[in-house]
Amino acid sequence: MVDKDPTSSGVRADSDGASTLDLSGRCVGSSYILVQPIGQGATGTVWRGVDRASGEPVAVKLLHESLLRQPKLVTRFVQERTILLMLRHRNVVRVRDLFSIGESLGLVMDLVPGGSLREHLRRHHTVPAGEAARLAGQVAAALAEAHGLGVIHRDLKPDNILLQSTDGRLETRLTDFGIARVLNTPALTTPNAVVGTPHYMAPEAFHGTAASPAADVYALGILLYEMVSGRPPYDSDSVADLMRRHLQGSPERRPGIPDALWAVILSCLDRRPKLRPSAAELVGQLTDVARATDGVPPLPPPAPLPDAPVPPPSPKPSIIPQQRPPRRRNQAPSWRWARPGTVFALLAGTMLASGVATTAWHLSRADGSPRDVVVAGVPAATPSRSPVASAAPSRPAPSPASERRDPAPAPPRVPAGPSATRATTHTARPVTRSPQPEVREYGAFACTRRITLDWDSPVVAAPCQATGPKVQFKGELTAAGGGTATVTVSLRSGGRTVAGPYTCTALAFRGDAETRACGPRESGAYRGRTYAVQMSWAYTRNGRTLRGSVQGSAFTF
């Protein structure tokens, strides 16, 4: 890995907002002593370390603890080691070890002391054409080896190309296959997701199409252009603008770029993936260009890009009120003309509402039986089993909004005479509030994650608990697809089991990295005591069984 300028150990801000704790002097894995952080990445922090067994310097990449909660990233991190073990090439960083301890997961690699190509460009701005072709040819050789194994890098850029001086000449080492994809295995990324760095992405990658070796060749063409010109061919702070420029495909040729080198750049940057050369073909082409352009001086540093125009400062507000625009004398204000329309709209709305209410009232009286009239936006009253009271027709029913009830409703008025047998009153149903379910507040689940490492796929076990009226607890297991697991979870206090054990069998795992849970379960635990969730599991895949047991962090209920 890259050996950047030494930085003091301590708390450093990560690119994703997290912080790297001071782990200097800590022993991780079997025999690796962390010295100081030397780089930050999207998925981990790179430390300079020492192999205590051999005394050799190493680079240790630790996965961010905040990312351990994302199973796909853990699987991707382990996949990086698997891919690098497959790639035994002189221009690819060699992997030494992969370890897990507690909640940390680390990748141990060779320490490349020359820095990255990005740092080299910052110091020298441009690279001579012959040297750029030679270095790009080494990268093409590494890509050809990877493509032959069905692996696509998908994030080729100067930051991921490390330099090492051998006999006075720079040699490249390709690294960071963290988002690489093995072509014959399911992708770890979301379908149609855009993966990569926008400045180096092929036009088809912006549409989320399937990755292909041609995308790496396109990125290599961008890289070659940047080495000889000092900046990428398409530069913008807007991803949408970058996408437009990549799709248009019209790179500007700086004066002084040799014809042979420019022809290779244009072939790599062809908008049609099928017309780009393969990485293996580029090795021979770049070797010929390096010989033909040997001795050509580097281009001068590029001129700085023009800054965006600064808008003129807004005028300061004046304390003197502005003069009103002149208006003809005796002219009625404009708002008066709007008043009749507003009044008309209000009257029309009132009449419409009155018509709806009147129609509903007559419908309810058509057959002499009570009806529930439901108006849009107003909930119907919930009937009650309590004795109903009669209301006089001249007295409206209580509003559902106010829910008022008279302490002694007036008795119904029955007309005298023969017509007394006909009921002319309407029974009013009291408006009651629907019962509200009991609110049971629980906090978020707090989980303690432990990693058990298999060389093919890691298994992440996480006992979790949440407190509220009772204690909820569960066990989560994250593993690669194609296996089954048995999970047992219990709640313990003071060395004895107070709830459980509960066992979940035949938990099937599909996809690339799936999480299955046993629970949650509830326990009426006593308050004021300290508890912990105990979880044991057995995961079977490809005829092998991994077993583990983990106890969660202690908590007080």
CA 398 to chain centre: 53
Q: Are 231 and 293 in contact (CB under 8 A)?
A: no
Question: Both tokens of residue 4?
Answer: 């950047």
Kindly tell me the sign of the dihedral angle through the C-alpha atoms of 103, 108, 112, 117: negative
> Which of 465, 476, 466 is CA-nearest to residue 514?
476
- The residue type found at 342 is T
Dihedral sign, CA of 76, 81, 87, 93?
positive
Query: Measured between alpha carbons, how far is 420 from 356 in angstroms, rounded to an integer?
Result: 31
**SS3 of residue 288 by DSSP:** helix
Residues forming a β-bridge with 534: 490, 551
Spatial contact of 503 and 490, defined as CB atoms under 8 Å apart: no
| Sequence letter at residue 540 | T
- 80 residue type, one letter: E
Chain centroid to Cα 376, Å, comes to: 41
> In this structure, are residues 207 and 232 in contact, taking their beta carbons and an 8 Å threshold?
no
Q: What are the backbone angles phi and psi of residue 193, rounded to the nearest 5°?
A: -80, 150
Q: What angle do CA 280, 281, 282 make, to 5 degrees?
A: 90
Instruction: Quote helix, strand, coil % in the chain, to nearest 5.
Output: 25, 25, 45
CA dist list (Å): 50 to 92, 102, 105, 141, 377? 21, 21, 17, 30, 71
Which residue in the block uniquely carries the two structure tokens 């005796």?
330
- Cα(45)–Cα(53) distance, rounded to whole angstroms? 23
Q: Which residues pair with 59 in a beta bridge?
A: 48, 109
Q: Which residues are within 8 A (CB) of 272 and not within 5 positions of it... i.e. 6 or more apart?
A: none
Catalytic residue set:
155
End-to-end CA distance of the chain: 47
Question: What's the farthest any 2 CA atoms get from each other in the chain?
Answer: 125
Which residues fall within 8 angstroms of residue 238, CB to CB, at 6 or more apart? none
Amino acid 286 reads: L
Q: Among candidates 549, 554, 529, which has minimal Cα distance to 489? A: 549
